[in-house]
Structure 1
Amino acid sequence: MSSSVPLTSATAPGVPVRGADLLARDRRTGDLLRFAWHGPESYAAPERIGAGFGVDTVPVLGAGQGISGITLWYAGASGLPVGVPGRPFFDAASCLTEPPGSGFGVIVATPDGTLLTQRPGATTIEDRPAVPGAPGVTVATVPRGTVLVGAGNVTTGRRHDIVVQGPDGRLAVLERSGGAGQWYRFTAELPGLRGIRLVDTSGDGLAGCAGVVPDGTLVVYPHSGVFWPQDPDTVLLSPVALAGGWHDLDILQ
């Protein structure tokens, strides 16, 4: 059912927003796919927007969406993140400006226009301007085995938070409201969820968690619209199945 009332931001009432498109990589073919957002927990059929990005060719890949379109980020041989500006089609054979490297385990483009990076096995997460060659600043120290998941508005504040997944599979969110920030750990697990990323699938400006379950179904745990520091688990609603056939697909953003 359609409505004439536009979705508005949960943190800035009256300001129209839209959910994020899903960007994914097919590990089997190396294709990049875009699933356009159509409404709360609803996406269009995939559009092929790139080729040649197999995990053996470009091991670490991230993507960001802004007013200038999609920008890809990968780990370069120089040991720094390398950006590939938006274009109608991303062909790895012609658009990579330097050979890929293995200096990063995760690269996340944040909604604030910066990059979060984590080196393989590192216990620190760095924030850096989304400018090639820019140095990183440590913004979080995490236990060994903890992996950066993404950045998004989870705690309903004015800044986008950092979310990580611990070695026990559980998530924690760093509220970046000022100073060193405050960590909140989720007690609930997201069982069997592969490739977890933060995605605003509802269109309210708040980030839920999306990933792939063992049977290849893409599911999302939408944001509930509230965040209670005394009970962080209430921030996520029950999972919603978005699509099947995601056995070989990884969410980039």
Structure 2
Amino acid sequence: MGPQRPLRPAVPRSLGAPRAGAFHNRRPVGPSARAPAFLDAGKHPVAPSGRQTIREDHLATPHPMEIAPDALWWPGRLDRPAQEALVEEVREVLRAAPLFQPAMPRTGKPLSVRMSNCGPLGWVADASGYRYQPFHPETREPWPPMPETLLRLWADFSGSAVPPEACLVNWYAPDARMGLHQDRDEADFSAPVLSVSLGDTAVFRIGGEARTDSTRSIRLESGDVLRLGGRSRLAFHGVDRILPGTSTLLGVEGRINLTLRRVTAP
């Protein structure tokens, strides 16, 4: 693993731990339901001009830090130009597949995180349950293709020989959170879950495979890459809170999290 650097500052005690629970512990939606302003490229430009190109050295892979068994964290792996280019690609995805409001099964209570997907399959949540499907739940159109940049990130950081089939695009407004949960709606757990953070910092919490296991927290900043695989593939994890104003990338407060997953067994 190479030499270990000190982790970013621990979460202040005043933040507290999130309530234990899965997706149903996310807070009801409030102001988060409004369309995020970062989608308006005219008012909130991300790239200085035109479309940026991500150079190979932006995706170089140094030694990561292991924050839990087999949970690897690459702080700041995408530099600012690479982040700007990726945000532009996310905008294109969301023009084709607009953000929608997932809801809890059975109750239909809205979640605080809005989302979309790209790739052959997309994750959805509604009164019928949690599942993957090949089309948008509102437009009924197929999900847009996964950008080549995301496929390269998967190839460089996942350590998996099989390609991803879904990329969840989660939009966290400044007041959004995500309760502790496991990613277990996939048919096969041999491939990892890979996530990329863009925008404001998130206080991320991770535990073990049991809900009662102890947890630790780190601050995921814009440009960070995180991989949950092996012994941490089914670890409980979540987002305690967003730290508004910690990034200027999106032109507004909030965070985008891109989560790449393999859904079916290879």
Check whether TM > 0.5. no
Which is strand-richer, 1 or 2? 1
TM-score, L = length of structure 1: 0.33
Q: TM-score, normalised by structure 2?
A: 0.32
Relative to its length, the structure with more helix (as a share) is 2
